[in-house]
Structure 1
Amino acid sequence: MALPMTQQAKYWGIAAAVFLLLVWLMGNVLVPFLVGGAIAYFLDPVADRLERLGLSRAAATAVITLVMFLVVVLLVLAVIPTLIQQTVALVNAAPDIARNLQTFLTERFPDLTDETSIMRTTLADIGAFIQSRGADLAQGVVSSAMSILSALVFIVVVPVVAFYLLLDWDKMVARVDAMIPRDHVTTVRRLARDIDAVLAGFVRGQLTVCLIVGAYYSVTLMLAGLQFGLVVGAIAGAVSFIPYVGAIIGGVLAIGLALFQFWGDWFSIGIVVGIFILGQFMEGNILTPKLVGSSVGLHPVWLLLALSTFGALLGFAGMLIAVPVAAALGVLARFAIGQYQGSLLYRGLDPVQVPRDEDVV
């Protein structure tokens, strides 16, 4: 005989509370395992496809690990040093950019030459502020990232965790499925498929979009001659995780830098503008519909709320679990709404007594 719903809700509530408490208490310890699990989840479809091509699970995992290792080495040797160099150069160039902006505005708005002008004083302070705070911010971000994801984590823990989770992924899924309460196995499996569809459509799809968009902006802006094209492209690609925000931030930053670098050369400025117009068109009409889809059901506002809430409560580990938890809560909310709309509480009458449309005069 099944347990009453009140007792089931109590037990599942306690399990959820214990899970969140463990994440809160062991956040930094769990980070490499969460990262490794995310990598394994992201690469599981690739391993499944290699298995369908005839490779064993172990061979498929080994091939994926080798390819990922080569990609990481390429990034470390070729891309990351240039990215850091351009970021430092951009921070150091902030005072010159602010002074150029001040000169540009004072030439067209003579009132700004007044020494007591609030706008002039503000513009004069912007460059020094960005330079001082920007360097501190960049150093703080790097130091924080390295304290959480240390060299040991990158070299040993995350790859090992990802390798073994990817190797045993199907076995773990089968094991979890065998532990589902038999009274609810059909419903839980359906909800799990819906959650996986949301995660697969959003996380895998959106990360792929971010990589493609970031690479496109970085390469094209560098070919266009923009001094900090790699940094702008990386920022635009990273923030593209939130629809339209990446294009807006990257576009404003790139066009602003292009105006200072190419002032008077309207053709070069137009090329930079065209790059972002084309990139936004490809992202909105080709990449996102094909790789993410329009029926994911994970609204950007809901995603921002989840990232902010879990990040504030649980730190970096909370941000890692924010998207899966948000996807699960979204699916459960839609399931609950469906159950409510099919209940007598919503319908108000027994289904047999509900009048049909053709019976209404």
Structure 2
Amino acid sequence: MTDIQIRREPAAVAAAEDRPLPLGRQIAFWLAALGVVGLCLYVFSGILLPFVAGLALAYFLDPLADRLERVGFSRLWATVVILGVFVLVFVLALLLLAPLLAGNLADFAAKVPGYAQRLQQLVVEKGSPWLERLGHRVQPADIQGSLGDVIGKGVAWGGDVLKSLWSGSQTLIGVASLLVVTPVVAFYLLVDWDRMIAKVDGWTPPRHRATVRELATEINDAIGGFIRGQSLVCLLLGAWYAIGLMLCGLNFGFLIGMLAGLISFIPYVGSLTGLVLASSVAVVQFWPDWVMVGAVLAVFFSGQFLEGNILSPKLVGQAVGLHPVWLMFALFAFGALFGFVGLLLAVPLAATVGVLARFGLKQYMASPIYTGVKTPDGGLPPDA
């Protein structure tokens, strides 16, 4: 009897080892891990910017390094060539565009009060007769006061947003250290990228490795497709807006157009911001020439048509799976929590959550909870 028990004991131990952890314990483990990651991001958000930027840069440039490897470059020399060219192009662009943008921005900021005052006067002059025809007697001072409050709140809100982003990226390190540390971090990460991916893949439990690889591939496609495609869309839109507004003769047309294009990664925010700024300046500058005001509006409406019907479908595609509302929420939420670091992390995290949510929904719809049909062991059916 004792021998039989001894012979059965290893089999029982093996069966216990093969038995998966209860679902509740797995959920508790991953929630705890997520909490630790979130706490680390919150505590170290002030110093994470160059490291997150370096990680993003390495991720962005990894496909180019893989291509150079396929044509005979070693990983080290592929990294050196790619980062060297990238830094050179970035420095040249900074030297050429920074003075122009800084000068335009300073001039625009100095003239904003005058534009706002003139716009208030035009609204009062042209709006009062319409209000009187509708039976509303409104004093010009009241209209000016209301418009002044709205403009003041809008300027204050924009200032608060810029201040929060700036302060979130400026603790313990400065812009100079960001420009120095980011390429170094990107270099080391890009050299070891494939080894790091293989190491993380080796940490995955073998029984779940196929599922995790499938999810990782979907997440990579979503992140890469959006970042690379949307970056090109933003650059093309910025060029379209800037050239169109400059051809219209709009004051600060280049600045407004590039600003609208560069913040177009936030759905609708970039185009609406540029439309409001450009139309306000156009009304003040060209009044009463409505043809030129219409030309300025046409630049933005045509840009929206190009983005929605040509650029985004071709460059970003529909397979990314990032709904505009979900993306806007992620950008604003992480930007408010972690400043510029949050903006860099928002898109990858939003894409990851989206892929995992679709996977969870797929599992739910294949489970007895949804179908009402149990598997032979009484649990969930196997993964598709």
Q: TM-score, normalised by structure 1?
A: 0.86
The verdict on how the C-alpha distance between 1:109 and 1:211 changes in structure 2, with shifts beyond 3 A counting, is: closer
Deviates more, 1:200-209 or 1:94-103: 94-103
Q: 1:230 aligns with which of 236, 254, 258?
A: 254
1:49-90: per-residue Cα shift (whole Å, max 9, x none)? 333343332232222212222222223212122212222222
Q: 1: distance between equivalents of 2:19 and 2:57? A: 37
Percent of aligned pairs with the same amino acid: 45
Give the match for residue 170 of structure 2: 147
1:320 maps to 2:350: no
Give the match for residue 294 of structure 1: 318
Unaligned segments of structure 1, at least 5 residues: 353-361
The verdict on how the C-alpha distance between 1:205 and 1:2 changes in structure 2, with shifts beyond 3 A counting, is: farther
Deviation of residue 141 (structure 1)? 6.7
Confirm or deny: 8 A CA contact 1:214 1:234 kept in the other structure: yes
Deviation of residue 180 (structure 1)? 0.9
Deviation of residue 105 (structure 1)? 3.0
Q: Please give the residue correspondences for 1:40-189 in structure 2 after superposition, counting only pairs within 5 Å.
A: 40-109=58-127, 117-123=141-147, 129=152, 140=163, 144=167, 147-148=170-171, 150-189=174-213
Confirm or deny: 8 A CA contact 2:104 2:252 kept in the other structure: yes
Confirm or deny: 8 A CA contact 1:23 1:318 kept in the other structure: no
Deviation of residue 298 (structure 1)? 1.1
Give the match for residue 216 of structure 1: 240
CA RMSD, 1 decimal? 3.0
Amino acid at match of 1:341: M
Unaligned segments of structure 2, at least 5 residues: 1-17, 132-136, 377-384
Q: 1: distance between equivalents of 2:114 and 2:154? A: 10
The verdict on how the C-alpha distance between 1:132 and 1:319 changes in structure 2, with shifts beyond 3 A counting, is: closer
Q: 1: distance between equivalents of 2:155 and 2:20? A: 62
Give the match for residue 21 of structure 2: 4
The verdict on how the C-alpha distance between 1:146 and 1:222 changes in structure 2, with shifts beyond 3 A counting, is: farther
The verdict on how the C-alpha distance between 1:217 and 1:145 changes in structure 2, with shifts beyond 3 A counting, is: farther
Deviation of residue 158 (structure 1)? 0.5
Amino acid at match of 1:28: G
Which has the higher Rg, Structure 1 or Structure 2? Answer: 2
Q: 1: distance between equivalents of 2:148 and 2:33? A: 56
Give the match for residue 357 of structure 1: none
Q: 2: distance between equivalents of 1:115 and 1:45? A: 63
Amino acid at match of 1:343: S
Q: Secondary structure at the match of 1:29?
A: coil
Give the match for residue 13 of structure 1: 31
Confirm or deny: 8 A CA contact 1:302 1:326 kept in the other structure: yes
1:337 maps to 2:361: yes
Deviation of residue 195 (structure 1)? 0.8
The verdict on how the C-alpha distance between 1:226 and 1:70 changes in structure 2, with shifts beyond 3 A counting, is: farther
Amino acid at match of 1:206: Q
1:275 maps to 2:293: no
1:302-350: per-residue Cα shift (whole Å, max 9, x none)? 1222233334444443333222222111111111111111111111135
The verdict on how the C-alpha distance between 1:67 and 1:223 changes in structure 2, with shifts beyond 3 A counting, is: farther
Q: 2: distance between equivalents of 1:10 and 1:125? A: 49
1:240-287: per-residue Cα shift (whole Å, max 9, x none)? 113333222212321221222222444433432332232222211121
Confirm or deny: 8 A CA contact 1:99 1:123 kept in the other structure: no
Q: 1: distance between equivalents of 2:247 and 2:372? A: 65
The verdict on how the C-alpha distance between 1:88 and 1:316 changes in structure 2, with shifts beyond 3 A counting, is: same
Amino acid at match of 2:66: D
The verdict on how the C-alpha distance between 1:47 and 1:212 changes in structure 2, with shifts beyond 3 A counting, is: farther
Deviates more, 1:301-310 or 1:15-24: 301-310
1:123-148: per-residue Cα shift (whole Å, max 9, x none)? 46777x58996997698479637725
Q: Secondary structure at the match of 2:47?
A: helix
Confirm or deny: 8 A CA contact 2:169 2:339 kept in the other structure: no
The verdict on how the C-alpha distance between 1:255 and 1:349 changes in structure 2, with shifts beyond 3 A counting, is: same
Amino acid at match of 1:88: A
Q: 2: distance between equivalents of 1:146 and 1:349? A: 53
Deviates more, 1:113-122 or 1:225-234: 113-122
Give the match for residue 35 of structure 1: 53
1:19-73: per-residue Cα shift (whole Å, max 9, x none)? 1111111111222111110111112122223333433322322222122222222
Q: 2: distance between equivalents of 1:119 and 1:289? A: 44
Aligned length: 351
Q: 2: distance between equivalents of 1:81 and 1:64? A: 26
1:199-242: per-residue Cα shift (whole Å, max 9, x none)? 11212221221122123222332243222122212321133113
The verdict on how the C-alpha distance between 1:282 and 1:116 changes in structure 2, with shifts beyond 3 A counting, is: closer
Q: TM-score, normalised by structure 2?
A: 0.81
The verdict on how the C-alpha distance between 1:131 and 1:13 changes in structure 2, with shifts beyond 3 A counting, is: closer
Confirm or deny: 8 A CA contact 1:213 1:283 kept in the other structure: yes
Q: 2: distance between equivalents of 1:23 and 1:146? A: 13
Amino acid at match of 1:284: G
The verdict on how the C-alpha distance between 1:135 and 1:239 changes in structure 2, with shifts beyond 3 A counting, is: closer
Q: 1:242 aligns with which of 263, 266, 288?
A: 266
The verdict on how the C-alpha distance between 1:334 and 1:183 changes in structure 2, with shifts beyond 3 A counting, is: same
